[in-house]
Amino acid sequence: MHRILVARALYPETLARLRQHFEVDYNGDDIVFSPRELSQRLQGKAGALTTGSERIDASVLDAHPQLRVVANMAVGYNNLDIAAFDARGVLATNTPDVLTETTADFGFALMMATARRMAESEHFLRAGQWTKWRYDMFAGSDVHGATLGILGMGRIGQAIARRGALGFGMPVIYHNRSRLPADQEGPIGARYVDKATLLREADHLVLVLPYSAGSHHAIGAAELAQMKPTATLTNIARGGIVDDAALARALSERRISAAGLDVFEGEPAVNPALLDLPNVVLTPHIASATERTRRAMADLAADNLIAALAGSRPPTPVNPGVLPLAGV
Ligand code: GLV
């Protein structure tokens, strides 16, 4: 029986299924391992079920040549150094598709909460400050009919675009590494633009691109300066895509109107400058967090491990070029 590490707490039902196939070392205490602890726990393991919190790079792979598969319970995999995986023939898998619509719901909700000042007004009410109606109280900006800008037009970006175009009558503009085929742009009337046009024209800009060295600080002071002063920015992608310090400055000087952030540079730490601002809605990286979707992600990560370590093609490999796995 292969030995695997389940690096974080997991649904008991998924764990029980893994235990039918593997000898499982389970981090039931849900400790966020230091790199050293992670390396210790990977001793002798053929597979690992990880989350975005565990970083697996060349040094980890070199220390554990018996490790064949890492199943990441997330669609993003910037915590895995895929070039190092490829070079060593180690398989990585992720959990796409099962979270697309749930994550798009949240991205749209966060954008709406940001535009309509929901968090700020709720704090005001809870603080007992609501004593009378006033004509301009918490007047925000409209979502319906406003221009929706999307940076990163993958599955989740397209699902957000659909919500905006079909549900809220929003003209959609987007920028992406590559332009969508016409039959995907058509139904949502999405217009491909360069990044400068996206920044300049979007009323509500939503970030849904993967994190990489190339997308680090894709939105910094220079980009924020190009946005409309009335615009909102929503980040459900990854911390590090936005320069959080530059964003805090832009928000405090009202160079853009508001932001909604589900992800942060260095999370779970949050830049203190953001915490003091009224015009930002902050959530703790929960865009895919519904009961059904998180279970589906756990199950898919388990399916990937079970298939790969049985020598079959896993459902959602990140680097299928390493298949078939030598030595499994
Ligand atoms: C969450 O951030 C994910 O990548 O699934």
Average pLDDT over residues 300-317: 97
In this structure, the answer to whether residues 106 and 92 fall within a common structural domain is: no
Q: Could you list the active site residues?
A: 238, 267, 285
For residue 255, the domain's CATH number is 3.40.50.720
Residue 12 lies in a domain: yes
Digit-coded pLDDT (tens) for 108-138: 999 999 999 999 999 999 999 999 999 999 9
Residue 284 confidence (pLDDT) above 70: yes
Nearest to 69 by CA among 5, 141, 132: 5
In this structure, the answer to whether residues 154 and 181 fall within a common structural domain is: yes
In this structure, the answer to whether residues 230 and 209 fall within a common structural domain is: yes
Q: Which residues line ligand 1 (CB under 6 A)?
A: 52, 74-76, 99, 288
Residue 27 lies in a domain: yes
In this structure, the answer to whether residues 239 and 110 fall within a common structural domain is: yes
User: Residue 156 C-alpha to ligand 1 middle, in angstroms?
Assistant: 11
In this structure, the answer to whether residues 188 and 261 fall within a common structural domain is: yes
Residue 32 lies in a domain: yes
Residue 328 lies in a domain: no
Residue 215 lies in a domain: yes
In this structure, the answer to whether residues 303 and 260 fall within a common structural domain is: no
In this structure, the answer to whether residues 165 and 84 fall within a common structural domain is: no
Residue 51 lies in a domain: yes
In this structure, the answer to whether residues 201 and 104 fall within a common structural domain is: yes
In this structure, the answer to whether residues 69 and 213 fall within a common structural domain is: no
Name the residue of 264, 288, 290, 297 to mutate for ligand 1: max ligand atoms within 8 A of Cβ. 288
User: Residue 159 C-alpha to ligand 1 middle, in angstroms?
Assistant: 15
User: Residue 58 C-alpha to ligand 1 middle, in angstroms?
Assistant: 22
Residue 158 lies in a domain: yes
Q: Whose CA is nearest to atom 5 of ligand 1?
A: 74
Average pLDDT over residues 28-47: 97
Nearest to 139 by CA among 252, 261, 279, 276: 279
Name the residue of 103, 106, 267 to mutate for ligand 1: max ligand atoms within 8 A of Cβ. 103
User: Residue 10 C-alpha to ligand 1 middle, in angstroms?
Assistant: 16
- Which ligand 1 atom lies nearest to the CA of residue 99? 5
In this structure, the answer to whether residues 138 and 224 fall within a common structural domain is: yes
In this structure, the answer to whether residues 223 and 190 fall within a common structural domain is: yes
In this structure, the answer to whether residues 253 and 149 fall within a common structural domain is: yes
* 327 — pLDDT class (breaks 50, 70, 90): low
Using a cut of 0.85, tell me whether the model's pTM lies above it: yes
Cα angle: 93, vertex 31, 300; to 5 degrees: 25
Residue 326 confidence (pLDDT) above 90: no
Residue 143 confidence (pLDDT) above 60: yes
How many separate domains does the chain show? 2
Cα angle: 95, vertex 60, 33; to 5 degrees: 70
Q: Which domain holds residue 82?
A: 3-96+291-322
Give the integer Cα–Cα distance in Å for 40 and 164.
Answer: 47
* Contact by Cβ (8 Å): 281, 110: yes
Which two tokens mark 269? 């730490």
Residue 183 confidence (pLDDT) above 80: yes
What is the DSSP secondary structure assignment for residue 56, as one 8-state letter? B
Residue 242 lies in a domain: yes
Burial letters 245-275, b for 16+ CB under 10 A, else e: ebbbebbeeebbbbbbbbbbbebeebbeebe
pLDDT at 324: 78
Q: Whose CA is nearest to atom 4 of ligand 1?
A: 76
pLDDT at 325: 65
